[in-house]
Amino acid sequence: MKVSGLTISLSKEKKAMKKCLLFVLVLGIVLCGCGKKEPEAGKVELSLPEIGLLETKLPDITKAPAPKNQNLLTGNIDLTKEAIGKRPVAVMINNVKDALPQYGISQADVIFELPVEGNLTRLMALYADYTQMPDICAIRSCRYYYPAIAKGFDAFYVHWGIDQTVKSYVASLNMDCYEGLANAGGLFARDQARQRVGYALEHTGYFKGTRFASVVTSAGKRTDLLTGKQGTAFKFCGLGTALTPTGGSCNTVNVGFGSATAGFTYNPDTKTYYKTINGQNHMDVRTNEQLSFTNVFVLETSISIRDDVGHKKIDWAGSGSTTGYYISNGGMQRIRWSKAGGAEEGYLQFFDESGNELEINRGKSYIAYTYKGKTTMN
């Protein structure tokens, strides 16, 4: 028998052997790379159709299912066992000059920045692992568009104070809120060290994140994610891969909010964008780390003043026509964005200009909602 130039002989007494056994023998010889063997006397040759070599491929790890401890906010494989399938935590953080530097923010997985009164900004930091929360300062009050965003992640919501004109709206969202004024569970306090060095009282409130898991479980709060929220928050690319947005190179970004500017500079060694605030490095004073992100999103939207105090009205839901930018891995591209279904419960979704859902790189993300035409990139 000849297989790919290889001759195999079988004895007459084994002619009746089942073809399946013969086929296995053939494959074994081919894969072992044996040389040509001439027939021996008293043996006959059996001929089968010629077959080609089998192509072997290593498994594609980029398409393999992600491990259970995948962080649903970053796509990284870094969740503790206790946090698998559990709800994240959204925390309101003071971001004005007199409240800087903050602490507990470098551990956040996603940070949202939106304008408030006077076109200053406030941060909402999302943490995927409710069991590993840091202490966070300075905590600040709620504006209605922050819980509207947090609801889409099925997150616990932490704040100190609330815009009273939208209090009933926030209550209607039926979220698990932790309010500094009520100080449920003793989770809030004033940072005495800050007070001693002259911080104004409103810039000293901190959240005792290290106690959060025990308080939540003791109170019997739901910690498991809702059924529809057990997947990743964004559409991440495959494990071990990195994407570059297709609209051109981007090494610096400046996001203008009016009275505040968020800047970003790309570091090709870490493949992340390092953040500044009003031209100064944006630092976490406890870890001495500058905030950095794999992904930077700038979402252009409609923003107006809704009352005499200067509170903002912001289109947090978007639509098929709202635009923005995705910046990552030294590149940028124009995108469209919206909350799925236009509702608070929907995930925030990103699309390319052809309407295809955008794959993004795994890692921490910064997401700004801001005015149209207020962002520059180089």
CA dihedral 101, 106, 112, 113 (to 10 degrees): 20
Domain shared by 148 and 193, yes or no = yes
Instruction: Answer yes or no: are the C-beta atoms of 125 and 90 closer than 8 Å.
Output: yes
In the predicted structure, residue 50 carries a pLDDT above the cut 80: no
Residue 140 belongs to some domain of the structure: yes
pLDDT tens, 232-265?
A: 999 999 999 999 999 999 999 999 999 999 999 9
Domain shared by 41 and 95, yes or no = no
Percent pLDDT > 90 in the chain is: 81
Domain that residue 274 falls in: 81-377
Residue 245 belongs to some domain of the structure: yes
CA dihedral 205, 209, 211, 212 (to 10 degrees): 110
Mean pLDDT of 46-53: 39
Domain shared by 137 and 285, yes or no = yes
What pLDDT is recorded for position 119? Answer: 97
Residue 279 belongs to some domain of the structure: yes
pLDDT tens, 315-343?
A: 999 998 999 999 999 999 999 999 999 99
Q: What is the phi-psi region of residue 225: left when phi exceeds 0, alpha when psi lies from -120 to 50, beta otherwise? A: beta
Residue 142 is which amino acid? C
Q: Which of 37-51, 182-196, 361-375 has the lowest mean pLDDT?
A: 37-51
Domain shared by 187 and 274, yes or no = yes
Domain shared by 25 and 126, yes or no = no
DSSP state letters, 163-174: -GGGHHHHHHTT
Domain shared by 133 and 14, yes or no = no
Residue 63 belongs to some domain of the structure: no
Question: Residues near 101 by Cβ (< 8 Å), separated by ≥ 6?
Answer: 283, 284, 285
Domain shared by 89 and 154, yes or no = yes
In the predicted structure, residue 58 carries a pLDDT above the cut 70: no
Q: Which CATH number goes with the domain that contains 235? A: 3.50.90.10
Residue 356 belongs to some domain of the structure: yes
Mean pLDDT of 196-225: 97
Give the tokens for residue 15.
């002619």
Domain shared by 255 and 333, yes or no = yes
Which has more pLDDT, 164 or 84? 84
Domain shared by 174 and 247, yes or no = yes
In the predicted structure, residue 53 carries a pLDDT above the cut 70: no
Residue 207 belongs to some domain of the structure: yes
pLDDT mean across residues, the chain: 88
For residue 48, name the pLDDT band (cuts at 50, 70, 90).
Answer: very low
What pLDDT is recorded for position 18? Answer: 43
pTM of the predicted protein model: 0.84
Domain shared by 225 and 143, yes or no = yes
Which has more pLDDT, 61 or 361? 361
What pLDDT is recorded for position 370? Answer: 98
What pLDDT is recorded for position 320? Answer: 85
Residue 189 belongs to some domain of the structure: yes
Residue 21 is which amino acid? L
Q: How many domains does the chain have?
A: 2
What pLDDT is recorded for position 5? Answer: 42
In the predicted structure, residue 55 carries a pLDDT above the cut 50: no
What pLDDT is recorded for position 62? Answer: 55
For residue 61, name the pLDDT band (cuts at 50, 70, 90).
Answer: low
Mean pLDDT of 162-175: 94
Domain shared by 180 and 232, yes or no = yes
- The span from the CA of 193 to the CA of 338, in Å, is 42
Q: Which of 41-50, 56-65, 167-176, 178-187 has the lowest mean pLDDT?
A: 41-50
Helix (H) or strand (E) run with residue 212 in it: helix 212-218
CA-closest candidate to residue 360, choices 335, 317, 332, 328: 328
Q: Which of 33-37, 105-109, 112-116, 358-362 has the lowest mean pLDDT?
A: 33-37
Percent pLDDT > 70 in the chain is: 83
What pLDDT is recorded for position 44? Answer: 42
Domain shared by 161 and 206, yes or no = yes
pLDDT tens, 296-312?
A: 999 999 999 999 999 99
CA dihedral 171, 126, 64, 62 (to 10 degrees): 140
Residue 205 belongs to some domain of the structure: yes
Preceding omega of 138 cis (within 30 degrees of 0)? yes
